[in-house]
Amino acid sequence: MINWRGGCFLDLKALLNKEQYEGAVTVEGPVLILAGAGSGKTRVLTHRMAHMIEDLNIFPYKILAITFTNKAAKEMKERLNLLIGDLSKNIQVSTFHSFGLRLLRENCDVLGYSSNFVIMDSDDSLTVVKKIIKDMGFDPKVYNPRAIRNKISSCKNEMIMPSDYEKYAVSDYEKIVLKVYEKYEEKLRKNNSVDFDDLLLLPIRLFRENTDILNRYQDRFKYVLVDEYQD
């Protein structure tokens, strides 16, 4: 059979087992594929995207595929390329962090950053925390910089900003952590920098505070597929 581009429709029944086939052809509405390692979850996702494009005439740029690691994203792109060739280049396939970075690059002015903002890695952020602790005159043996940096990271992953953390800062130690957190955020803003956790935190803030931007991306990406969802 010939599809809209003059090629052949995918014979998914021949390519997938029964359960995989059901997951691949169910396109509208939410779908959860729960299976063990090596059972073909990524295979279902890639064939599902290929089916959407080749058989259902869905434009590739309407699809967003998110996974957890760069290795997994690369593998997904390679599998898609084998299935649909150059059309796969028009699908947004990326990790959570790299897609977050794209959102920040495209909307940095709304968040108060200039377009040349810098991304700090874990070593950079630890250096900043060490300097803050030193400048504030605290003993790093008591207020361990790595432990405080990890606490700040945990807060960001829980969407807890300094103003939110204030209500949890009951002990003297927690109050110092709060002060370091506040200084840390001030330093990042002053230096036009974001850390790795901000690549997840700031896009959520962007969407929550700007419904027009959220609506634009929702209209752009009509189909969102998440691999390694448990991570």
For the stretch 101-158, pLDDT in tens is 999 999 999 999 998 999 999 999 999 999 999 999 999 999 999 999 999 999 999 9
The phi, psi pair for 140, rounded to 5°, reads: -65, -15
pTM: 0.86
13-16: Cβ within 8 A, 24+ apart? 15/47, 16/40, 16/43, 16/44, 16/47
Reported as half-sphere exposure (CB side, CA atoms, 13 A), residue 159 has a value of 7
Q: How far apart are CA 131 and CA 190, in angstroms?
A: 15
The reported pLDDT for the residue numbered 205 is 94
The reported pLDDT for the residue numbered 4 is 41
The reported pLDDT for the residue numbered 63 is 96
66-69: Cβ within 8 A, 24+ apart? 66/94, 66/95, 66/96, 66/99, 66/224, 66/225, 66/226, 66/227, 67/93, 67/94, 67/95, 67/96, 67/226, 67/227, 67/228, 68/95, 68/96, 68/227, 68/228, 68/231, 69/95, 69/228
The reported pLDDT for the residue numbered 3 is 47
Regions in the chain scoring below 50 on pLDDT: 1-7
